[in-house]
């Protein structure tokens, strides 16, 4: 199947799910989900995989065991593509790349690189460039002040306060979402995020325990990774 974007019915599906997050609604509209939501995402992943790496499509069911919100279904469809992430909802499309929440060993390496003159200046330049290009550069968790042992006056204290780093772009619903042009937007995000990913791979690297630190990781992985 060739990726041609998501039809308007995909957005209508999520509009309805937000209003009625029930098993009855899901079963009544499951065919729409499979045909107009999931199938285009699978086609997009298949086209991106050769260039950007292994893909993972997240389950549509929420893990409600540790949540006060017992709604059974996610109101987004999301997937990982290598170090990248893509998500569709009734509100539009989001794509990003990076390490959303660092494990303790990763965080130690990250902070050491941020304060080092060469790597730290390079990261600041990359982040400034992304923000100038209308990217949001964020993390799942940010400290209110400098971490223990680091000066509040450090010129890169904002980066030191972050416990991860991801570059994101979001777009509201528009006509191009129903065309192959949606793929071009995702690819542009992945390409623009390449300098950030290169820095993270060079100075942070994978978690010692194999924890997934990407922007689409599960709540349980996030809990294990808290520093």
Question: Which pLDDT tens digit goes with each residue over 105-146?
Answer: 999 999 999 999 999 999 999 999 999 999 999 998 999 999
Question: Which pLDDT tens digit goes with each residue over 148-183?
Answer: 999 999 999 999 999 999 999 999 999 999 999 999
Q: Measured on CA atoms in the order 31, 46, 190, 97, is the torsion positive or negative?
A: positive
pLDDT of residue 214: 61
Cβ atoms 108, 193 nearer than 8 A: no
pLDDT of residue 219: 33
Nearest to 75 by CA among 33, 126, 130, 129: 33
pLDDT of residue 215: 60
Question: Which pLDDT tens digit goes with each residue over 53-78?
Answer: 999 999 999 998 888 889 999 999 99
Mean pLDDT over 83-101 rounds to 96
Mean pLDDT over 92-106 rounds to 95
Structural domains of the chain, ranges and CATH numbers in brackets: 8-225 (3.30.930)
- pTM, two decimal places: 0.87
pLDDT of residue 40: 98
For residue 61, what are the β-bridge partners? 73
Token pair 């029930």: residue: 22
pLDDT of residue 66: 86
Question: Which pLDDT tens digit goes with each residue over 23-43?
Answer: 999 999 999 999 999 999 999
Angle between the 117-132 and 104-115 helix axes, to the nearest 10 degrees?
A: 100
H/E stretch holding 50: helix 39-52
Cβ atoms 95, 186 nearer than 8 A: yes
What are the DSSP calls for 127-143, one per residue?
HHHHHHTT-EEE-S-B-
Question: Which pLDDT tens digit goes with each residue over 179-224?
Answer: 999 999 999 999 999 999 999 999 999 988 777 666 644 333 332 2
pLDDT of residue 101: 87
Return left, alpha or beta for 216; rule: phi > 0 is left, psi -120 to 50 is alpha, else beta. alpha
């Amino acid at each position: 199947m060739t990726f041609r974007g998501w039809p308007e019915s995909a957005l209508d599906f999520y509009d309805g799910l937000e209003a009625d997050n029930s098993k009855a609604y899901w079963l009544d509209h499951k065919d729409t989900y499979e045909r107009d939501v999931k199938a285009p995402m699978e086609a997009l992943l298949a086209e991106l995989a050769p260039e950007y790496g292994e893909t993972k499509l997240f389950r549509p069911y929420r893990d409600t065991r540790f949540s006060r919100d017992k709604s059974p279904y996610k109101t987004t469809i999301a997937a990982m593509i290598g170090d990248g992430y893509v998500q569709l909802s009734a509100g539009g499309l989001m794509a990003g790349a990076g390490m959303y929440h660092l494990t303790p060993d990763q965080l130690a390496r990250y902070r050491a690189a941020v304060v080092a003159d060469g790597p730290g200046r390079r990261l600041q330049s990359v982040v400034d460039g992304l923000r100038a290009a209308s990217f949001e550069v964020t993390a799942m968790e940010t400290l209110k002040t400098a971490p223990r042992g680091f000066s509040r006056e450090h010129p890169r204290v904002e980066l030191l306060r972050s416990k991860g780093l991801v570059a994101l772009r979001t777009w509201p619903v528009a006509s191009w979402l129903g065309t192959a042009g949606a793929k071009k937007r995702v690819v542009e995000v992945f390409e623009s995020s390449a300098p950030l990913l290169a820095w993270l791979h060079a100075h942070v690297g994978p978690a010692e325990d194999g924890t997934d630190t990407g922007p689409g990781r599960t709540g349980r992985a996030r809990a294990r990774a808290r520093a």
